[in-house]
Structure 1
Amino acid sequence: MLSTPELLTGFCNSVDQWIGYLDAYTLQQLQQRPAPDSWSLGQVYQHLISDTRFYTEQMEAAMATDEHADCAMTPEAAALFAVNSFPNKPLANPFNDIHLQQPESKEQLRRQLTGIREKVCQLFKNASIRKGKTLHPGFQYFNAAEWLQFADMHLRHHLWQKEKIDKAILQA
């Protein structure tokens, strides 16, 4: 199991990686869908921002309570955490919407990702972490550090999707 400082470093590195990628694209490229039934890279960014904000809220809630401390994650989640990653393939998520809003600008994405990174760093720097857990809609209960690890795993998981979109839009 990774320590909280290691988890925080991994998360910040993943956010910084996604921020850095923005420089390689025009807004038009970010908004270009490789196929009618897939997201644009900008929509992937919007998805990552939205989900990571939710994970951050869960980190904060778990840090503020001792509730559900004895509750566990599912065995499927435990297997993902054990290898610290999701499989590099599409995963079903009933909350995903193919018509996700396109970004308005690269700067908007940069600001939102930077804000998330700063919020998470402040949470783990200033909070006295309690032993509480909050409910993940599919994997049961995570504590704050597990939410942090899950957020990083999620950011890294979508790199395969970015590569797939890059191949489609940069060849066009």
Structure 2
Amino acid sequence: MMFERNDEIRNQIWETVSGLEEEQLNRKPSPERWSIMQVLRHLNLMENVITNQARLALEKEQHVPVDKKPYELSLDRSRSVEAPPHVQPPAAPESLADVRSDLASSHRALEQFAQEHDTALLRSKSFPHPVFGEMDLAQWIDFTSYHEERHLGQIREIKQQLGL
């Protein structure tokens, strides 16, 4: 099933933050770095953008075959890419209940989108990624799991920096 990896990484994220207090989740390792809660909010914002862009791409007439992109490279955390403004988390502390609920909703929406459409159709429609260029919708759905795995590494690093 197309969404298995997405579910697996999301479960690892929840395991990694389980037992942490809201104050710990909202604490930043340094002023210029994100808190764990901000990372979680970023994942929610990204999932929403990907789902919305994918829906818009389906409405377009174009059917352009797209080469497989090396988005697995996003796991290399030695390379930093600043998140575009529309997927940057708010600076203010947030409640875990709100972020968890929003993440569950965005995850369900992307999963539902993936299940509702034939893989051939998903491979025939695309929209651009800021680093990897044009990616088809099936690649975008798979990329989401790699993006989350990258941030799982970041969450683990933040925990270590905060001594949690």
Flag whether TM exceeds 0.5 (same fold): yes
Q: Is the 8 A contact 1:31 1:41 kept in 2?
A: yes
The alignment partner of 1:158 has SS state of helix
Q: Is the 8 A contact 1:86 1:154 kept in 2?
A: yes
How much does 1:67 deviate?
1.7
1:60 matched residue in structure 2 = 55
1:9–1:138 distance in 2 versus 1, CA, 3 Å: same
Taking the TM superposition and a 5 Å limit, the aligned residue runs for 1:19-98 are 19-67=14-62, 69-72=64-67, 78-81=69-72, 86-93=75-82, 95=84
Q: Is the 8 A contact 1:71 1:141 kept in 2?
A: yes
Q: Is the 8 A contact 1:49 1:113 kept in 2?
A: yes
1:157 matched residue in structure 2 = 150
Q: Which amino acid aligns with 2:27?
A: Q
Taking the TM superposition and a 5 Å limit, the aligned residue runs for 1:136-147 are 136-147=129-140
Tell me whether 97-106 or 119-128 shows the greater mean CA deviation: 97-106
The alignment partner of 1:162 has SS state of helix
Q: Is the 8 A contact 1:133 1:143 kept in 2?
A: yes
TM-score where L is the length of structure 1: 0.78
| Structure 1: segments with no counterpart, 5+ residues | none
1:114 matched residue in structure 2 = 104
Aligned residue-pair number = 160
Q: Which amino acid aligns with 1:86?
A: L
Give CA-to-partner distance per residue, 1:3-32, whole Å, 9 cap, x none: xx2x31101222233234443211100110
TM-score where L is the length of structure 2: 0.81
1:167 matched residue in structure 2 = 160
Q: Is the 8 A contact 1:64 1:132 kept in 2?
A: no
2:9 matched residue in structure 1 = 14
1:61–1:20 distance in 2 versus 1, CA, 3 Å: farther
CA RMSD of aligned residues (A): 2.6
Q: Is the 8 A contact 2:57 2:126 kept in 1?
A: yes
The alignment partner of 1:135 has SS state of strand
Q: Distance in 2 between matches of 1:127 and 1:88?
A: 32
| Percent identity for Structure 1 against Structure 2 | 21
Q: Distance in 1 between matches of 2:4 and 2:128?
A: 24
